[in-house]
Chain A
């Protein structure tokens, strides 16, 4: 009964590979997000989807392609992985597009290591 879940929890892969991370929320929220947390623990938003539509793309390279098959799922596909992509990726959701009053609920994170 986890609210926001992500798979896999850990992902170790070689440079140049393509990989996907999956996210699911069972909160009935309309809006989902992908965040990246770097080695210094700074967390920055990458994408936001509202009702399956891409709303926010924070100048993320085209190698990153989010896909939302339905409101409850937001997957992240990464092509041609680079060393700098190593980070923890968090999925989050909120009832609506989270302007100043909406609280975002985070998943447990996917730890990606590119070798």
Chain B
């Protein structure tokens, strides 16, 4: 019942921006887009979420297209510690349901 599609993996150079795409073409009007990440052997960590507008916090930026069918998570200056699996989640209720995510490897 996955509602999102993400590339399975991507590499990024340390210090560069990492742009992580997510497709959610069946998103409904009251559903939010959430991003979490999971560093190896740790629990999922909240990154950011949004409904319609672009959002920015100390960790990342979230760009949501006008039709809301896709979004991009931007890590502005990737570090080695950003190596993790990144999950894009569409959510309209209490449940968080994670798919396979994108494995991001930041290389020195």
Q: Are A104 and B96 in contact (CB-based, < 8 A)?
A: yes
Query: A43: shortest Cβ distance to chain B, in Å?
Result: 4
Q: How far is A102 from B38 in the complex, measured between Cα atoms in Å?
A: 19
Evaluate whether A56 and B98 lie within 8 angstroms (CB atoms) in the complex, with A90-B43, A100-B31, A109-B43 already known: no
Query: B22: shortest Cβ distance to chain A, in Å?
Result: 16
Which A residues from 42 to 85 make CB contacts under 8 A with B? 42-45, 48, 55-56, 58
Query: B72: shortest Cβ distance to chain A, in Å?
Result: 20
**A residues less than 8 Å from B30 (CB atoms):** 100
Q: Name which of B13-21, B60-68, B73-81, B85-93 contacts chain A.
A: B85-93
Question: Who on chain B is nearest to A58 by CB?
Answer: B95
Residues of chain B whose beta carbon lies under 8 Å from any beta carbon of chain A: 30-32, 38, 41-46, 49, 85, 91-101
Residues of chain A whose beta carbon lies under 8 Å from any beta carbon of chain B: 4, 35, 37, 40-45, 48, 55-56, 58, 90, 92, 97-109
Q: List 30 A-B contacts (CB under 8 A).
A: A4-B43, A41-B100, A41-B101, A42-B98, A42-B99, A42-B100, A43-B98, A44-B98, A45-B94, A45-B96, A45-B97, A48-B94, A55-B94, A56-B94, A58-B95, A90-B44, A92-B44, A92-B96, A97-B94, A98-B94, A99-B93, A100-B30, A100-B32, A100-B93, A101-B32, A103-B49, A104-B46, A105-B46, A107-B43, A108-B42
